[in-house]
């Protein structure tokens, strides 16, 4: 059976429609089946950040405005993410009126729907060319997606296109992808990957995002070895500032690892991948029971299966990342999980002999603090930023937008 075509209004008001007893079950079932719940992350109303919002017979496409350097999260972006249909318009009466009109049009949309002429193996190049991009080579591959380099035809600017086949990753598409899209659209920070466009096709979701020319942090270290003290300070500070921003707006990442830290050729470090992110209460401790993230970067409380503080779990992940940056190896061997947890709980952190004399003592001290199994002794994000090691970083050679920042990282490449 080929998927029917639905208008933007039908998809956009799904949450309202399913609460209406008069809505045809066939309509709701079809939307849910063919769009894998992605409609739940669609905006109920347009915001200032959306430059163009286009609905055609075969896609939903959101195009975002280019972010200014000084841009911060606006009320428009917040309203864009507000999925509550009762407050999406100026009054409940207007919303209910709009919903009733949408219900009346549901049958018409379904009756007028034409089958999409999608080939079993769709033409990827044509999909991108039709939307103003030239598809180039593959630059990465994840558990649920492929990443291809694309070039914007209008100006030649390069971006990364994350292509997610929802039929091959139904669990991820239904549980985590909507959360990733909704979370990413809230964020506006120089050290967090920015989404440029989201294209939702019946079976595929395409995310156009910033292109990290130097790849991820793990790949960079594997190719170039452990980072020098100055390089590590510069890059780690950017990572910590991104995590501080997340925590300040009530979001815990929960999957901080070197593979999710991307590097641009201008020296910018970006935190990415928000599939496991969750909202947290900034006024009190929030506990989570969901096991997520990567074992090698997971805190002992998470591995032991007890409710954990996602913020402190992020701090542990930062400790693992810093260890890898300056040591060039993992802090714990995940091949034996029981032994790994025992080592974590014993607070046994050893720096490899070959780099022990090179790693700054203040850096070693900070790593030991962040990898403390006692959550009451683990430092907060502000304590990390004010640590002796990061305070020693000259403000003239760090931060965002400085002319010599790109030379600092690229100098490692010779």
DSSP assignment letter at 295: G
Which residue, among 66, 23, 17, 14, has the nearest Cα to 43 in the 3D structure? 14
d(CA 134, CA 405): 30
The string of DSSP codes covering 186-230 is T---TTBPPEEEEEE-SSEEEEEE---TT-BHHHHHHHH-SPPHH
68 pLDDT exceeds 80? no
| Arithmetic mean of pLDDT over the chain | 77
| Token duo for residue 8 | 């933007």
d(CA 47, CA 56): 20
* CA 275 distance to own-chain centroid: 6
pLDDT at 108: 52
d(CA 316, CA 128): 40
Q: Which residues are catalytic?
A: 255
Out of 68-82, 122-136, 305-319, which region has the weakest mean confidence (pLDDT)? Answer: 68-82
Name which residue leads in pLDDT, 233 or 20: 233
Over the stretch 101-122, which tens digit does the pLDDT of each residue have?
444 454 454 455 444 444 445 6
Q: Please list, in sequence order, all residues whose beta carbon lies within 8 angstroms of the beta carbon of residue 90, skipping any fewer than 6 positions away.
A: none
Arithmetic mean of pLDDT, 312-338: 95
pLDDT at 372: 97
Distance between the two ends of the chain, CA-based, in angstroms? 56
Name beta bridge partners: 209.
Answer: 160, 195
Over the stretch 116-149, which tens digit does the pLDDT of each residue have?
444 445 678 888 998 899 999 999 887 778 999 9
Label residue 181 by pLDDT band (50, 70, 90): confident
DSSP assignment letter at 85: G
Name which residue leads in pLDDT, 335 or 174: 335
Contact 300, 201 (CB under 8 A): no
Is the entire prediction scored with pTM above 0.85? no
Arithmetic mean of pLDDT, 273-298: 90
CA distances from 401 to 238, 266, 268, 390 (A): 12, 9, 8, 18
pLDDT at 160: 96
* Max avg pLDDT among 14-18, 241-245, 274-278: 241-245
Contact 344, 302 (CB under 8 A): no
Residue 189 burial class via C-beta count within 10 angstroms: exposed 0-12, middle 13-18, buried 19 and up: buried
Arithmetic mean of pLDDT, 350-363: 92
d(CA 146, CA 124): 12
Containing 238, the helix (H) or strand (E) segment is: helix 229-248
297 pLDDT exceeds 80? yes
Label residue 26 by pLDDT band (50, 70, 90): low
Over the stretch 182-213, which tens digit does the pLDDT of each residue have?
888 889 999 999 999 988 887 888 999 999 99
Which residue, among 171, 19, 88, has the nearest Cα to 28 in the 3D structure? 19
d(CA 342, CA 306): 15
Q: Confirm or deny that 162 is annotated as ligand binding.
A: yes
pLDDT at 178: 85
Name which residue leads in pLDDT, 70 or 138: 138
Arithmetic mean of pLDDT, 88-98: 40
151 pLDDT exceeds 80? yes
Contact 5, 202 (CB under 8 A): no
d(CA 183, CA 271): 13
pLDDT at 8: 45
The string of DSSP codes covering 14-75 is HHHHTT-TTS-HHHHHHHHHHHTTGGGGS-SS--TTEEEEEE-SS-EEEEEPPPPTT----H
Degrees, nearest 5: CA angle 336-340-343: 145
* CA 285 distance to own-chain centroid: 23
pLDDT at 393: 78
pLDDT at 287: 92
Ordered structural domains, the chain, with CATH: 43-91+119-211 (3.30.200.20), 217-413 (1.10.510.10)
């Amino acid at each position: 059976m080929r998927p029917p075509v639905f208008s933007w209004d039908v998809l956009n008001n799904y949450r309202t429609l399913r609460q209406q007893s008069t809505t045809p079950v066939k309509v709701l079932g079809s939307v849910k089946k063919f769009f894998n719940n992605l409609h739940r992350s669609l905006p109920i109303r347009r915001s200032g950040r959306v430059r163009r919002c286009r609905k055609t017979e075969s896609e939903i496409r959101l195009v975002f405005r280019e972010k200014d350097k000084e841009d911060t999260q606006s009320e428009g972006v917040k309203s864009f993410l507000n999925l509550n249909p009762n407050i999406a318009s100026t009054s409940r009466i207007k919303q209910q009126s709009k919903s009733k009109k949408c219900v009346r049009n549901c049958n018409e949309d379904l009756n007028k729907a034409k089958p999409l002429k999608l080939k079993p193996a769709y033409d990827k190049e044509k999909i991108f060319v039709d939307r103003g991009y030239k598809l180039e080579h593959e630059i990465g591959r994840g558990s649920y997606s492929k990443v291809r380099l694309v070039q914007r035809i209008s100006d030649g600017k390069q971006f990364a296109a994350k292509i997610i086949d929802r039929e091959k990753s139904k669990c991820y598409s239904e549980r985590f992808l909507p959360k990733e899209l909704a979370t990413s659209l809230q964020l506006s920070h120089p050290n967090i990957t920015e989404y440029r466009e989201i294209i939702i096709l019946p079976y595929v979701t395409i995310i156009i995002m910033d292109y990290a020319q130097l790849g991820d942090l793990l790949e960079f270290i594997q190719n170039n070895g452990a980072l020098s003290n100055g390089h590590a300070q510069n890059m780690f500070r950017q990572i910590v500032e991104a995590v501080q921003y997340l925590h300040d707006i009530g979001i815990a990442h929960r999957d901080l690892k070197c593979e999710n830290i991307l590097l641009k050729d201008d020296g910018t470090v970006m935190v990415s991948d928000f599939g496991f992110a969750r909202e947290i209460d900034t006024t009190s401790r929030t506990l989570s029971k969901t096991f997520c993230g990567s074992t090698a970067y997971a805190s002992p409380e998470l591995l032991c299966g007890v409710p954990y503080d996602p913020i402190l779990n992020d701090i542990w992940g930062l400790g693992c990342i810093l260890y890898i940056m300056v040591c060039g190896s993992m802090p714990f061997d995940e091949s034996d999980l029981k032994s790994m947890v025992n080592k974590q709980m014993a607070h046994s952190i050893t720096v490899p002999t070959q780099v022990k004399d090179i790693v700054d003592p203040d850096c070693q001290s900070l790593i030991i603090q962040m990898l403390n199994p006692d959550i009451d002794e683990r430092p907060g994000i502000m304590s990390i930023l004010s640590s002796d090691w990061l305070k020693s970083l000259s403000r003239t050679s760090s931060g965002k937008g400085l002319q010599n920042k790109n030379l600092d990282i690229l100098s490692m490449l010779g």
